[in-house]
Every structure is written in C-alpha cells, then in structure tokens.
Structure 1
Amino acid sequence: MLSALDHLVMYVDDLPQAVDFYSRVLDMDAKEQDAGHADLHFGNLTLRLQLADSAAEPKATRPATGGMELSFASRLPLEEVERHLAALSIPVELGPVARAGGKGPVESLYLRDPEGNLLEITRPRR
C-alpha cells in the first residue's frame, strides 16, 4: 500500500536555531519556511521543523520537543563526519560504535541537536 516516507515532522521550541543546526551542521537544504515551520531537504526525504506551540492543525496529540531519535545515513566516512563536527564544536556523545542498522551492520556516531533529540549518523560496516 505505501511506497515511501514523504516527510517527518519534528517539533522545536526555537525554529531559527534548529534550522541553523540542521543546515549548517548536517548540510540539509533549508527550503520553504515561515514563522511556524521550515522544510529541510536531504536525499529523498523532507524533515519538517515545526514550532511545538504552532497553531497549525492537525498535529500530534502531544507535540513535544527533544523526544526524537533519528538515524541518518552518511555519504562520508565517519572520520570525516567527526572532523566536521569537531570543527563546529559539536560534541559526539558516543562512537564510532558497531550497531545494527535498518539495512544491515553499521558504524554509528551519536550526537544531540539543540532541542536534545538524539541523532545517529551511520555508515555501512565493511
């Protein structure tokens, strides 16, 4: 019945800070944006950042910030990702460590965005 995930909504308290983090740190392409939301594009997916107190309807029953865990696949070796994060003073919480990804074994780095969401950056293990 379904063919793909079209977009994912993440609730935030500080939209400009979140847009800056995801575009500057994770190289996502910030597109449509207004006072209540911003769409960030990467690969075939859109990450929609939406203010938790936005009047937009419909929305989640209990919109909350900082409760997401997202895993992103990296085109770059994790060593390059680590250097990029270090240059931006973004701490790595854990990794690289061996994990089981959605499509097989991966090496992962973990970090947090400004809202406290846990972000995993993966690369297939060889």
Structure 2
Amino acid sequence: MSRRDRRRPATDPAAPCPCGLGGSYGECCGRLHAGQAAPTAESLMRSRFSAFAVGDAPYLLRSWHSSTRPASLEFDEELSWVRLDVLGRTGGGLFEAEGTVEFRAHYRDGGRPGDLHEHSRFLREDGRWVYLGPIAP
C-alpha cells in the first residue's frame, strides 16, 4: 500500500463521512470534493475537514480564498484527523456573502490525541464559498 493510499481512508463512497454528519462520504462531502458547490459556509468547512482527513489537497486549495491560498499543501503522514465538532456559526447561509464557523477538529499525531480550535471566516468568491482564514482571538 502506498503512502497516498493510507491517507485516503474515506474515499469509498459508502464509508462514513469524516465530517460527522452521519451520512456516507459519497452522499456528503465526497460530492463537494468532486466539484459540487457547498451551499453554506458550514458545509464548506465540514468538507474541508473531510478533505484533510482523506488527504485531498487539490480540493483544499480550490476551496481557499485566492488572497490567502498557499501555493501548495503537504500533509504530515503522522497526523490523522478523526473527529469534528462544530461549536457555533454566524451568517454563511444560502443567500449570504460571508460567515464564520467555530469548530474543534480532533486529531492523532503519532498516536497521541490533540485538537485544533479555530474560529474561521468564509466568503463567497465567484459565487462559491471559500475559506478566508482564522479570526484572530
């Protein structure tokens, strides 16, 4: 098994989606990774968490705002994203142009548990939701 194969545990459409909503990957975040637009800022944030979990760097780069997008993205092979908790959100709805989502993303790094707590800002760019970046505390 290649290193890339180990990074993609949920690309089976029938597997549980990493974002935690309870559906299958194919019916949930997989369709967004395949090109369907996220309808809300929260759905984009959940799909980005899933992209980190399955190692989908092209999707992460496509869903990053052009003003803050890095040139490339590499994954730490020791880090695996295991659970997402959405703590709150403002705006980011179907007919809005910006929104925020506060979340806690749980991971394992070399077998040790950890978490990332972030309050993120999302904007519409060319009609699609994109991740702008974290809001400073």
Same fold (TM over 0.5): no
* Interval containing the TM-score (normalised by the shorter chain): under 0.3
TM-score (norm 2): 0.25
Of structures 1 and 2, the one scoring higher in RCO (CA 8 A, sep 6+) is: 1
Q: Which structure: larger Rg? A: 1
